[in-house]
Every structure is written in C-alpha cells, then in structure tokens.
Amino acid sequence: MIEGALAGFTVAVTAERRRNEMAALLERRGARVISAPAITIIPLIDDDALHAATAACIGLEPHLVIATTGFGFRGWLEAAEGWGLGDSLRDVLRSAKIIARGPKPCGAIRAAGLTEEWAAKTEASEEVLERLLSDGVAGLRIVVQEHGEPQTEFVKALRTAGAAVVEVPVYRWAMPPDVAPVRRLVEQVAAGQIDAVTFTSAPAVKAFMQIAEDAKADVAGAFACRTLAACVGPVTAAPLVERDIPVVMPERYRLGALIKTVTDELPRRAVRLNVAESVLEVRGHAVLIDGVTHALAPAAMAILSALARRPGAVVSKDQLAAALPRGNDGHAVDVAVARLRAALGSGKHIETVIKRGYRLRIDEAA
C-alpha cells in the first residue's frame, strides 16, 4: 500500500510548476514535504522578442519546427492568438514538419490540432540534433521553440550545417525572487535533515547547486552518502552527473514515475534491526516499531541513529553527545535517551551500560 510508505521521511520539492501536485502525492504516502522552488518561470507573452520571433516564423514559412516543451508550445500559440496571429501561425505550422522533444510537446501539438513528424524518445535536445544532422539540414528553414534559456550550441550546430534558424523565446527561467527558502533547504540537506530532494528540470538543479555554493553548504557530500537525489530523467540529472553526484531516476520520465521511484527507494535505505523482540526501522525523523510509526524529536532521533549505526555495541556518552544536533554533555544524553525511551513506549529497546554508555538490545540470531 502506498499510504504510509514514506512515513518518517522528509522529501524536498524544488519544482515550481506542479509543486502542489507533487507535494500532495508525497504527503499521501506519509512523507513530510518541504517545498522550495529553485527557479521561477517568467512568461514572455507580452514580450517584444516573442512577438518579433512569431512574425519572423510566419514570414519564414519554415520547413521544420522544433517544439521543445508542451508548456512553451501552448504559451506560444496563446500569445499568437492574443496578437491576432493565431490563424497565421497555425497555417505555417500545418505546412511544416514538426519535431517534438518528447511526449509532452507531442501532447500540446496534438491538442492544437496539429501532428508531429517525429518525437525524441530520450526527451533530449542531443537526440533531436543528431537526427536532424543525420538527415541533413542544409538549405532548410528551421524554427526552434526555446525552453527557458537560449539553445546556443543547438542552434549554432544547425546554422553551421547550413540551416536558417529562427529562435522563439516563450519563457525564461530565473532565480526565485526570494531565495531564502532554497538557502534554508540546502543548509538542511548539508546538515543531514533531508532524506530526498526531487528535481524536475536541469535549470532547477543548476540553481540549487549555485545557491548551495553561495551558502558554502556541502550538498554534494550529503548526496554522496545520505540524501537521495531523485531526478525525473537524464536531461534533468545531467548537471548532477557532471559533478559525479549519484542520482536515481525512473525508467519513464514522468512526475508520477518519479514519485514512485522515491517511494520505492527511500524505504530500501532505512536501517532495519531486530531489537528486544521488535523490528525497528530507523528512518529520517521517525522510527517504525513493528510497522507502527513513532515520531521522534531531533535529539532523540540523533541518539537512536547513532546507536543503530553500531547495533549491539556500547556507544559512549561522549560519542552520543557528539551526535546531538547541538552537541552537549553527558547529562543532555541522559535526557535525550529518557525521552527516546518514552517515545518508543518502552525502555526495553535501549540498555544502559553503567559507566560506559548505551546500546540497543539486539536479538540474538536464531
């Protein structure tokens, strides 16, 4: 059952579009969700450059039109309608061969009553470019709908191969007006307080890493050892892969599949121990005892995690004090252990070893 599958885990959403949908899907599965959009979308519906590019497209009568995103393609048609150019643009698009960078622009193309000639399975511009150069573009007139930023290398390659290219800027990515939520998130990731971060676009990844760099937060180290970096597909993952940061992604590059990947992966990473005839599953901010979730305060969670890293071994008070969120002395450890026992509903799971420390009562193997 998906309900409760992510209980005890904290998952961050960095997307702006569809963030509420993602948060709802994760919360339905029991996750604690932090929403911190790493970028914002600036539509260019009234932009002079978009108007000029649309007029140029109509006048160019292109042989090929490359639709890179469904959101951008729809926005382009809506803007053209607002300027009274909708019919002219549709006529031009009907006469051209339309290439889609994946299924999302395909959906927008078909919703507009048009038909794509071909769609890239990988949803990558590199696949589109490889196909076009293989077929030959010399002498062709090509329109490229941009997706948040200029396609500099893509367009340069087409022009070098002999094509005449018009670029259509429908929207732009930008840093959010207030980066404080993202800055707090990168600090939480670096501190080990986030179990997974989801990314749905490469610009969001770049912005997130830039904000982390500015904050001097070691998110790369966190992703390498404890925090799951979950990307919707290889295009989104590329900026992380370039930094040798491990990522997970679904086989189908869709939001729902991304949520399923997180739902499958995080529980696999939980520590499961047989303790005092119970099964303890240590998660991000909670522990499951025989499948029942027990939420823990940060200090109690830090103590349990430290004990679980050395199951059955005695962990000294000094070592446990170092694991506390704010550090402290042996008395703070005793208080945290007492609260942990109370939260677990029993003192049987944690044994006091006089003058030495504490340990989990690990069951002997049968």
Enumerate domains of the chain plus CATH numbers: 10-39+176-269 (3.40.50.10090), 42-173 (3.40.50.10090), 271-360 (1.10.10.10)
pLDDT value of position 347: 85
Could you give the 3-state DSSP secondary structure of residue 230?
strand
141-145 β-sheet, strand order: 118-119, 97-100, 64-67, 141-145, 164-168
Query: What's the gap between Cα 150 and its chain centre?
Result: 22
User: Which residue bears the tokens 């030495």?
Assistant: 356
Q: 80: which residues sit within 8 A by CB, 6+ positions away? A: 54, 86, 88, 89
Predicted model pTM: 0.80
Cα distances (angstroms) measured from residue 206 to each of 192, 210, 224, 240, 338: 21, 6, 17, 8, 43
Type and span of the H or E element at 73: helix 70-82
Q: Comparing C-alpha atoms, which of 3, 14, 1, 19 is closest to residue 227?
A: 14
pLDDT value of position 32: 95
DSSP 8-state assignment for residue 363: P
Full pLDDT tens readout for the chain, 366 residues: 467 899 999 999 999 888 999 999 999 999 999 999 999 988 776 678 899 999 999 999 999 999 998 988 998 999 999 999 999 999 999 999 999 998 889 999 999 999 999 999 888 889 999 999 999 999 999 999 988 778 889 999 999 999 999 999 988 888 998 999 999 999 999 988 999 999 998 899 999 999 999 999 999 999 999 999 999 988 899 999 999 999 999 988 788 999 999 999 999 999 999 998 899 999 999 999 998 998 888 899 999 999 999 998 999 999 999 888 776 677 889 999 999 999 988 889 999 999 899 999 998 754
The span from the CA of 140 to the CA of 86, in Å, is 24
Over its C-alpha atoms, the chain yields an Rg (Å, rounded) of 26
Number of Cβ within a 10 Å radius of residue 133 = 14
pLDDT value of position 366: 41
